[in-house]
Amino acid sequence: MAQLITPAELDCLVRSGTVRVLDVRYRLDRPDGSADHLDGHVPCAVYVDMETELSWHGRPEDGRHPLPATADLEAAVRRWGIHDNDTVVVYDDDRALGASRAWWLLTRSGVADVRLLDGGLRAWVAAGLPLESGPVVPEPGDVSLTPIAEPVLSIDEAAAFAASGVLIDVRAAERYRGEVEPVDPIAGHIPGAANLPTGAYMDGERFRDAESLRELFASVGIAEGVTAAAYCGSGVTAAQAVFAAELAGLRLGIYPGSWSQWSNTPGRPIATGAAPAEVTASV
């Protein structure tokens, strides 16, 4: 179950030394957040790199941020100083997009207590709490991870998903409609997918309340008992929708290959426009 923690609550844990904090700053236009981390971060926070630790890179048809192998993720998590039964708090400075990816990978790999800083780094600063500069290099941990147990959609499963459930595309509306595509080779969306952009789940840097989130998901047909999954550009920001869904008492799967995999795979149909199923072209 998704959990939020306030800056004041995190400050207490940091002062008592009973928490592992992860700084997962990442943006599409600035994927390397290490310099920002060095300038200032929550005390004891370890920098986590999206490109090399929360994903791996292969061929274009694998997508831009495929899920890391369990052994590789475990090695990274131990480098962050995490032990079994640790309380872990993750944060970033951009709508919980990077932090949600870390939360999803950790919780689905067997780390039981992973929380997300409500409001991110901006809320920490706004609360008047201190920042620390420079690198944080903890003693290695010995956590043991397990392979992700819940369903993770393949490209073929994503193609068939709309026939049996609700598939949502969480990219910006103009990318979904196919009007612009700043990163991937073709614009548009997976036929049958509805659009529910990342910003819709948030009020600034904070998640909306549970009732508002339930109403938001209901607007595209997602309710308790409905099979549903999310995708985005490269599998990173879809995790934010999963976190929001859990706050609302709902469950979402993920298609991690997302649009970056779909648009690089020959023969896949492409839909454009505001309607979910207007097939207009193929890759």
Give the residue-averaged pLDDT of 40-45: 98
Beta bridge partners of 253: 229
Type of residue found at 88: V
Whether the predicted pLDDT of 1 surpasses 70: no
For residues 117 and 3, give the distance between their C-alpha atoms in angstroms, rounded to a whole number.
9
Tell me the domain boundaries of the chain: 4-126, 155-282
Type of residue found at 13: L
Q: Report how far apart, in Å, the C-alpha atoms of 217 and of each of 196, 249, 260 are.
A: 8, 11, 24
> To 10 degrees, the CA torsion angle through 89, 95, 101, 106?
20
pLDDT class of 58 with cuts at 50, 70, 90: confident
- DSSP 8-state code for residue 91: E
The answer to whether residue 44 is catalytic is no
> Could you tell me the pTM of the whole model?
0.96
User: How confident is the model over 148-187, as pLDDT tens digits?
Assistant: 977 799 999 999 998 889 999 999 999 999 999 999 999 9
Per CATH, the number for 155-282 is 3.40.250.10
Q: 21, 232, 241, 245: which is the annotated catalytic residue?
A: 232
Tell me the CATH class for 4-126. Answer: alpha beta
